[in-house]
Structure 1
Amino acid sequence: MTTWYQRQPFSRLPLTSSSPMPSLSLVSLDHLSLVTAVGDDTMSYLQGQLTCDLISMEKGKSTLAAHCDAKGKVWSVLRLFHHADGIAYVQSASLSGAQLTELKKYAVFSKTTIEASELVLLGLMGENADSTIERMFSATAEVTPTQSGTAVKIEANRWLLAVNEAEADDILSQLSGEAELADSSLWTLADLRAALPLLHENNISEFIPQALNLQVIGDAISFKKGCYTGQETVARAKYRGINKRAAFLLTGEASTAPQPGDTIERSVGENWRSGGAVLSGYRFDDGKVLALAVLPNNLDDDSQFRPANEPDCRLEIIQLPYSLEDND
């Protein structure tokens, strides 16, 4: 694993819940890992393992996808894109080893090489990010090559860069005095505000893709392509309505940031019962927290929530940045 991040002055930005975001931030994405796949059978092999229709993905686009086990439970949520001569994806570094081993289980029978990459992962975000990427890389698409790697647009004014250490040093030099350096918590906050799910090791094989809202986020799930691992469960959840959970944004005040795998309790009459699990969380310097948590999708309007480890805290659901109505 590269030690490049530890040699740079990335740090947590002091933010309150009402703080404006910096106009440009260069973010260490050391909480993510990059995997590359190359070879004649790469597309067909991954097509049979992941929920997205990878074969239909344009070279200038990226997509989220789930990698499921045979029962349709999600091993990992991936961001896939064309990279060099093959495909690459990013996911949480905490589960990368286990997920990669599972994904490669049957690759021995195909002409594809799937391996962890040593490239540096950086984020560029803020109101000046799109114009900066265009200036630095002459980007005309949402996925564009750099000198040594690839730049991937996540959403408006937020980009992920997968580059070698020399190019990472060059980017750092070019943006000196222009971009604030921030640790990965700023990227986590952006993912939270966009309600984009990221699984960590505490959440492996706990949820089907629809419980993570992947059916309504871009093209993360294809219901029209051929078979893939876990497809039967994913299809049954759609056509028979068996999914009873969804990911919701929660906010409130707490003494610590909600952590992946933490239990969220909900009120049932005068009692409290386990209601769901945290996917990711962030705590502002004024004590406000934001969390993405998987909860029942048939909640009463007056339901109350609290972290199981902070019984005096109260959390409330806030509106997602997208609709949970599946129009596919």
Structure 2
Amino acid sequence: MDWQKDFAVLDLASTDPKPELAIAPLTSWGAIAITGDDKKSYLQGQVTCDVVTLDAQSSTFGAHCDAKGKVWSVFRFFHHNGGYAMFQPKSLIEKELAELKKYAIFSKVEITESSDIALGVMGTQAQSFIDSMTDSDDDVRPVEGGSAIKIDAQRWLLLLTNTAAETLISSTQAVKVAESLWTLFDIQAGTPLLNAEQQIEHIPQALNVQAVDGISFSKGCYTGQETVARAKYRGMNKRALFIVEGNAAADIEHNAELERAVGENWRSAGKVLASYRFSDDKALALVVLPNNLDDDVQLRLKDQTDHMWTLSPLPYSLEDNE
């Protein structure tokens, strides 16, 4: 895939506007493909989202849990190539595949890691770019070589064959950027994320999956459902995913530890799931923290103690209004 060499890290300061149209190969992301006659019923008993009611024109967030309600994977779920796709970080897929396939032998379903290429289209012109590829106006659209999936007002995901991806890249006038810009959008959107180091550490609500409509509380039983329901109806969840902001003198280590001030002392608060450092050393991160922290709590990276961090507002509510 030599065409991927054309993409470069964007030199972006915190005050700079993002490109109006950019495209990035999402090399650390992948998808699990699910096909077969029993795909709908099988997945309905495995994941938090309502597979049965999802139409072919829409996508949804979802999570797959173990029997205790701890999360193996958080994903975006949609119809793709005659089956379903679960779009998620590649680092999750090995363990997630094994868990998802545990009982598949009893059903007519095939579950595999997709070989498709993921491309992220970003910017104020992302919508018009996708519109030029197809006459459809749906949020999930078949396109040449795969599917286009709307992420938000300024982002679309393309899941394509290698040939279709290469053809698209060779003809586009979009700014070709590295995946880090997609990460910045994810952080600013408060996107529920997980990494391999934190698999089976959190329940879905600690990753805000419920806040983005990734949990159905009316669909019936699925693996881990009892714990997920208890967290909602008995208020047992004590953590949530937050956006934090501050300064970083150096690149932020993968899975870096964030500390919070407790009086004159510092205590571990959580580990970073994703981060972005601007060229002017401003930085943003996603991290699971206790959900009862004061808005003005002081935070810092354990390995960069000279800079204070603070909570930044999420673009959605964590209040349970049901």
Range into which the TM-score falls when normalised by the shorter chain: over 0.9
Shift of 1:5: 6.2
Q: Could you tell me whether the CA contact under 8 Å between 1:257 and 1:283 is conserved in 2?
A: yes
Write the letter of the residue equivalent to 1:173.
S
Write the letter of the residue equivalent to 1:228.
Y
Residues of 2 paired with 1:5 and 1:101: CA distance? 31
Residues of 2 paired with 1:260 and 1:278: CA distance? 7
Q: Partner of 1:8: helix, strand, or coil? A: helix
Which is worse superposed, 311-320 or 255-264? 255-264
| Matches for 1:139-178 after TM superposition, within 5 Å | 139-175=136-172, 178=173
2:210 paired with 1:215:
yes
Residues of 2 paired with 1:274 and 1:123: CA distance? 34
2:181 paired with 1:202:
no
| Matches for 1:1-328 after TM superposition, within 5 Å | 4=1, 7-175=4-172, 178-217=173-212, 219-328=213-322
Distance 1:58 1:110, change over 3 A: same
Residues of 1 paired with 2:22 and 2:320: CA distance? 34
Q: Could you tell me whether the CA contact under 8 Å between 1:257 and 1:289 is conserved in 2?
A: no
Residues of 1 paired with 2:144 and 2:295: CA distance? 52
**Cα deviation digits, residues 260-289 of structure 1 (max 9, x gap):** 532211011100011122111110111011
Task: Provide structure 2 residue ranges, at least 5 long, that are not aligned to the other structure.
Answer: none
Shift of 1:301: 3.7
How many residue pairs align between the two structures?
322
Q: Partner of 1:54: helix, strand, or coil? A: coil
**Cα deviation digits, residues 202-255 of structure 1 (max 9, x gap):** 1111111111111111x2000001100110110000000010111111101012
Q: Could you tell me whether the CA contact under 8 Å between 2:142 and 2:148 is conserved in 1?
A: yes
Runs of 4+ in 1 over 6 A off after TM superposition: none
Write the letter of the residue equivalent to 2:190.
A
Q: Could you tell me whether the CA contact under 8 Å between 2:295 and 2:311 is conserved in 1?
A: no
Shift of 1:259: 4.4
Q: Could you tell me whether the CA contact under 8 Å between 1:253 and 1:288 is conserved in 2?
A: yes
Residues of 2 paired with 1:151 and 1:140: CA distance? 11
Q: Could you tell me whether the CA contact under 8 Å between 1:248 and 1:317 is conserved in 2?
A: yes
What TM-score does the superposition give when structure 2 sets the normalisation length? 0.97
Q: Partner of 2:270: helix, strand, or coil? A: strand
**Cα deviation digits, residues 45-85 of structure 1 (max 9, x gap):** 11111000011111100011011111101111111100121
What TM-score does the superposition give when structure 1 sets the normalisation length? 0.95
Q: Partner of 1:14: helix, strand, or coil? A: coil
TM-align CA RMSD:
1.2
Residues of 2 paired with 1:260 and 1:210: CA distance? 23
